[in-house]
Structure 1
Amino acid sequence: MTPLVILVFAIVLTFGVLVAGAWAGRTKNQNLEGWLVHHRGMGSVLLWFLLGSEIYTAFTFQGLAGYSYSKGAAGFYNVAQNDVAYAIAFLVLPCIWMLGKRFGYVTQADFVAHRYGSKALGVFVALSTALIMIAYIDLNIEGLSAIFRILGGGAISPVLGNVIAFVVLACAVFIGGIRGNAIQSVIKDLLMFAAVGALFIAVPMTFFDGFGDMYSSFVEKIPGYFQLPSAKAPELGPVWLISTVLVTGVGQWMWPQWFGTAFTASSPTALKRQAVLMPFYQIVKVAVLTVGFAAIIALGTGLVGNDVVMRMMRDIFPGWALVLMAIAAMLSAIVPAGPIVMTSASLLSRNVVHALKPELSDRRIFWLTRMLVFPLVGAALVLTLVAPALIVSVLLVAYAFITQLFPGIVVGGIFWKRATKEGMLSGLLVGWAVTAVLLLSGHDPLFGVNAGLIALVANLIVFVVVSLCTTPSPAGQSVGTTLREIAAESGPGERETRAVTPVPAVED
């Protein structure tokens, strides 16, 4: 088959998978809670795939191999990051679920506005995080661009490929909601496991004389790539690795879509179970990193990092297998963007528009949320076309900003009742300002330390000092009391069955 035929087949079949999953998940989408959090009834199996699909994206399938190809051993930060994040998830996500169940939260901004008794703070967090999340959507479109560019052999331009991705992604999210995305995630993850496994086995058999020869070649030909700092990235040493793991590990659950994903669970026990089982996905990351290192020897240096995986696939597999590989790659870019887009849309409609115009009916807000899918994906498309970049670089910059929510949401939001809205806002602004200055001035890392961690320390200091100097909201006391009450009412492993209480109105 010619490259164009392979690409067309892959696009058509990918579109079919997305529409089928979205159509199967269209039930219970008559209101915002059903569309966003499936009425908090997601079972363990679908939840496991939904969480995995959100973490293991085009970044894992393409970006991580490209990062090890371009930067060397620095790419291993991402394996350690998730292990740190899962430990945090075991403690934090069940608390978020219990509060969401009790107070009817649907978004992260709902939690912030209620916890700190400030509608204005909720609006600010919703608007700013929705903008940051456009970079995360951009990451997945970057992955699609690499697929179309390499697999199509130039038959489809990156611009046209990105436009096609925009249409497919926006339509799939609009139709299916979160349950449809979970069904799509099952198909995507199974195909991704098969594709990565096949590639991991085929690479040493095709370009080397087996696994032993491949690993021996690593030691003999590119030993500098396995050092910190590596030959390709002398600025990324052990201190950078440790600081980046801390920033991304604590920041992973600060992405607003994770609040929505946590709210979909049927019980806090289901979330704990996912935190224990999710590390099995790490096997995929190690395999992808290995493929990136093998590409240095097999393909030589000088390629665009995002293109490495697709180049290897094109060189190894016959046409029919390449179609299946391409479907897995496309789904890894499109499916994970679903909850991100839905969350961004809900933040803008529910926590910005509805907060400013409370007279709007719930039905209007629901449909506004769905319609916002198209301009949000369009904004990410524009960003992709205007400022294409290495996938991992986009993600690391976005993490540096989103991690600044950690003091206000986890430290003060759950564990420290003395925290105030003034403290959270001041710390957040300082953290973002320090991050922006360091990144724009080219000082990331600074003295080997990830700029995001430096900003987080400044953020935390300001957060604590300002909170101690201002008056806490009574809502802060109620959140801690509520968690203790729920824990006392619900035995270990039991589902919290109390009816949802709507989020109380908050005033500044």
Structure 2
Amino acid sequence: MNTGQWTELGVFVVLFLAVTVLGFIASRWLAGTTLDHLDEWGLGGRKFGSWVTWFLVGGDLYTAYTFVAVPALIFGAGATGFFALPYTVILYPLAFLPLLRLWSVSRMRGYVTPADFVRGRYGSPTLALLIAITGIVATMPYIALQLAGLEAVLRTIGLNGTGLLGHLPLFVAFLILAVYTYQSGLRAPALIAFVKDSLIYLVILVAVIYLPVRFGGWGHIFDTSAAALAKPGPTGSAKGSILLTQNNQLQYATLALGSALALFLYPHSVTGILASRGRNVIKKNMVALPAYSLLLGLLALLGYVALAAGTKPIVNQATGRGDSNTIIPALFGTQFPAWFAGIAFAAIGIGALVPAAIMSIAAANLWTRNIYKEYLRRAATPAQEARQAKLASLVVKFGAVLFIVAIDPQYSIDLQLIGGVVILQTLPAVVIPLYTRWLHRWGLIAGWVVGMAWGIYLLYLIPNPATNHAHFGGSALALGKLSLFGWHPFGSSQMQVYVGILALVANLVVTVVVSALARRSKVFNGTDDTDPGDYHVDESTPNLRPVAAVP
């Protein structure tokens, strides 16, 4: 490590230790009567107001995906990476009304997870189990994406060893995260999110003002990027383009739509919403959260700045290949003074830890409520549930560490997009029943099975020549590879599509067909524990279920 890297490491460590202290202090912030209840440990007492929710949900949704993965994709492929902008624009209008209804029924009935709602709506532990397992599985690669962002920072600072020792700083960081999350629950990432977002806004505003001036303005940056992307990549064709091409326009559109539909299906997104105090808090946040999309757009442009600056990815000593996730950290490290680069690295690192904490809590809630209590210990007390959730959050965190140690994707954003294919299969069971019970539980189960099986099969077909992966190399498939019982409806077309949308369509078709047959045959559709009025309650509703109530 050189002198500058020591300075960067020093600033990074100081800020990291500061948020660690905040993580432990958080257990006494907005404290309830006890943390031995999932309402308190896993949902922060369901009392977060507008500002806390804005920072919490923003810190939850705009993650290392935003700060590392999107600019890295734009650096490597060009315009395709900007799909993240339209998806965050259409996301909030799509999610606005369903989230209000989900908050209300969950607040009235004491639901902690989306699977709790499905269990109550259909009286089906099997369907709830499938939703819970799906949420946990989809969350793991998303947590791994946060780890990829943190490791990119550590490599840039100079902590870039080989083998397991090369991952040691990552293990240490997540050990600290695990301890204060275990103690403080959701309050820890909620409090730290204030620091994380303040640092991110500071760093990005400085970067988008200073760097374009340094490299001749945006016109020169775009021209240089276009020339760099036109050069041949590993497959012999152009690496990308600053404009969409005929082959990736459909991919762009389906990625944007699929990602928008998927984001608030993730357990961690629902956790941030259910922790809100009331419907007005959610309404204000659906209006204010698009401000983060402006930040995302500015940050995404830094991928082109890195091309203009001639930034090179840092070689991962464990694999011998360049790590595309290091592009933005490397840009900051070479273009800013060491002390400011250290602040930027801390912002990215903390930006990875906050959502990772929320994700592990959400996955732990699913395990505890919908697997442990449902199948292993029905008589579990609230204190036993909370203890089980704390332990499960530790397992999830270290499982994600092992996940990132074992996998080396070309673009870390693929981890999130692959997870999106999985979580999209819960949409028919979680969103549509908020409005109607026409869909039959056996139809929902059949649709989930078909959508999940086909989605995973399509992912299996996708290669990645850059990393010599024959399968699971990404989330976009050429239409020419689609086959229906040997029939190729699109011939040899190279136009690509996001496979999550294809799997969801198959899911919906099967769900509707099987539901129609089951209803025609008058097959019992389970018992609905909810009432129509449950979907409209607010914090001022009389006789509202007390927070942390003992059943």
Matching residue within 136, 139, 159 for 2:167: 159
Give the Å deviation of 1:417.
1.4
Give the Å deviation of 1:274.
0.8
Matched, 1:203 2:211: yes
Deviations 1:107-149 (A, max 9, x none): 1111111111112322232133212211111110111111111
Distance 2:379 2:503 in 1: 39
Query: Which has the larger displacement, 6-15 or 388-397?
Result: 6-15
Q: Give the 3 Å change call, closer, same or farther, for CA 378–221 of structure 1 in structure 2.
A: closer
Distance 1:380 1:50 in 2: 21
Matching residue within 355, 359, 366 for 2:386: 366
Q: How does 1:65-464 map to 2 (within 5 A)?
A: 65-152=71-158, 154=160, 158-206=166-214, 208-215=215-222, 217-218=224-225, 225-229=241-245, 235=247, 237-299=248-310, 303-356=322-375, 357-389=377-409, 390-411=411-432, 413-442=433-462, 444-447=476-479, 448-464=496-512
Deviations 1:128-187 (A, max 9, x none): 321221111111011111111112264796411221222122123112211221111111
Give the Å deviation of 1:210.
3.7
In structure 2, runs of 5+ residues without a counterpart are 231-239, 314-321, 464-475, 480-495
Give the Å deviation of 1:495.
3.8
Q: Give the 3 Å change call, closer, same or farther, for CA 153–160 of structure 1 in structure 2.
A: closer
Q: Give the equivalent residue in structure 1 for 2:234.
A: none
Deviations 1:262-287 (A, max 9, x none): 11111112111111111111111111
Q: Is the 8 A contact 1:103 1:501 kept in 2?
A: no
Give the Å deviation of 1:498.
3.3
Distance 1:58 1:497 in 2: 41
- AA at the equivalent of 2:421: A
Give the Å deviation of 1:254.
0.8
Give the Å deviation of 1:446.
3.6
- AA at the equivalent of 1:481: P
Q: Is the 8 A contact 1:65 1:291 kept in 2?
A: yes
- SS at the partner of 2:380? coil
Deviations 1:225-254 (A, max 9, x none): 21113xxxx85x111111111111111111
Q: Is the 8 A contact 1:345 1:370 kept in 2?
A: yes
Q: How many residues align?
A: 490
Q: Give the 3 Å change call, closer, same or farther, for CA 97–305 of structure 1 in structure 2.
A: same
Q: Is the 8 A contact 2:73 2:81 kept in 1?
A: yes
- AA at the equivalent of 2:194: V
Q: Give the equivalent residue in structure 2 for 1:47.
A: 53
> CA RMSD for the aligned pairs?
2.4
Distance 2:360 2:330 in 1: 29
Q: Is the 8 A contact 2:222 2:304 kept in 1?
A: no
Matched, 1:7 2:16: no
- SS at the partner of 1:265? coil
Deviations 1:198-239 (A, max 9, x none): 222232233x1344543454567658621113xxxx85x111
Q: Is the 8 A contact 2:228 2:307 kept in 1?
A: no
Distance 1:343 1:80 in 2: 26
Query: Which has the larger displacement, 440-449 or 30-39?
Result: 440-449
Distance 1:130 1:473 in 2: 26
Give the Å deviation of 1:41.
1.1
Give the Å deviation of 1:60.
0.6
Distance 2:155 2:227 in 1: 33
Give the Å deviation of 1:21.
3.6
Q: Give the 3 Å change call, closer, same or farther, for CA 391–172 of structure 1 in structure 2.
A: farther
Higher helix share: 1
Q: Is the 8 A contact 2:113 2:267 kept in 1?
A: yes
- SS at the partner of 2:378? coil
Give the Å deviation of 1:304.
3.0
Runs of 4+ in 1 over 6 A off after TM superposition: none
In structure 1, runs of 5+ residues without a counterpart are 504-508
Q: Give the 3 Å change call, closer, same or farther, for CA 432–24 of structure 1 in structure 2.
A: same
- AA at the equivalent of 2:513: V
- AA at the equivalent of 2:17: F
TM-score (structure 1 length as normaliser): 0.90
- AA at the equivalent of 1:96: L
- AA at the equivalent of 2:506: A
Matched, 1:20 2:22: yes
Q: Percent identity?
A: 25
Query: Which has the larger displacement, 351-360 or 326-335?
Result: 351-360
- AA at the equivalent of 1:172: Y
Give the Å deviation of 1:90.
1.2
Q: Is the 8 A contact 1:349 1:365 kept in 2?
A: yes
Give the Å deviation of 1:469.
2.1
Give the Å deviation of 1:44.
0.2
Q: Give the equivalent residue in structure 1 for 2:545.
A: 500
Query: Which has the larger displacement, 338-347 or 162-171?
Result: 162-171
Q: Give the equivalent residue in structure 2 for 1:506.
A: none
Q: Is the 8 A contact 2:48 2:276 kept in 1?
A: yes
Q: Is the 8 A contact 2:119 2:125 kept in 1?
A: yes
Give the Å deviation of 1:420.
2.0
- SS at the partner of 2:264? helix
Q: How does 1:470-489 map to 2 (within 5 A)?
A: 470=518, 471=523, 473=525, 475-476=527-528, 479=530, 481-483=532-534, 486=536
- AA at the equivalent of 1:120: T
Give the Å deviation of 1:39.
2.4
Q: Give the 3 Å change call, closer, same or farther, for CA 469–482 of structure 1 in structure 2.
A: farther
- AA at the equivalent of 1:20: L
Give the Å deviation of 1:5.
4.8
Q: Give the 3 Å change call, closer, same or farther, for CA 53–472 of structure 1 in structure 2.
A: farther
- SS at the partner of 1:335? helix
Q: Is the 8 A contact 1:136 1:395 kept in 2?
A: yes
Give the Å deviation of 1:38.
2.1
Distance 1:442 1:300 in 2: 29
Q: Give the 3 Å change call, closer, same or farther, for CA 256–136 of structure 1 in structure 2.
A: same
- AA at the equivalent of 1:399: G
Query: Which has the larger displacement, 329-338 or 438-447?
Result: 438-447
Give the Å deviation of 1:501.
7.9
Deviations 1:470-506 (A, max 9, x none): 2363645x6472356x36xx6xxx7435321899xxx
